[in-house]
Amino acid sequence: MKAIVTVMLKNGVLDPQGKAIGQALGTLGFAGVGEVRVGKRIELELAETDPAAAKLAAENMARSLLANLVIESFSVEII
């Protein structure tokens, strides 16, 4: 079973990488781009066969290692 963990900076936390990308897009002529936020996507191949148990395991992994809960939030999708 595959779990997708998406980690993003929380609202209010400065995102210098996102700001740089937003400015570069404007320089390249892409108009109308608002705020840009950068995160990370982590794909986990899990041996678990129960979707609820797989989601719980991935959430525990995110809380323990994959996300810095002080400045980041995360979501888990089981596919």
Confidence tier at 74 by pLDDT (50, 70, 90):
very high
pLDDT in tens, 27-47: 999 999 999 999 999 999 999
User: Strand, coil or helix: what is 24?
Assistant: helix
| 78 membership: H or E segment, kind and range | strand 72-78
* Predicted local distance difference test score (pLDDT) of residue 1: 97
Beta-bridge partner residues of 9: 72
* Predicted local distance difference test score (pLDDT) of residue 16: 97
Sign of the alpha-carbon dihedral angle for 56, 58, 41, 7: positive
Q: CA neighbours within 13 Å on the CB side: how many for 48?
A: 16
pTM: predicted TM-score of the whole model, two decimal places: 0.91
* Predicted local distance difference test score (pLDDT) of residue 30: 97
Please name each of the domains of the chain with its CATH number.
2-78 (3.30.1280.10)
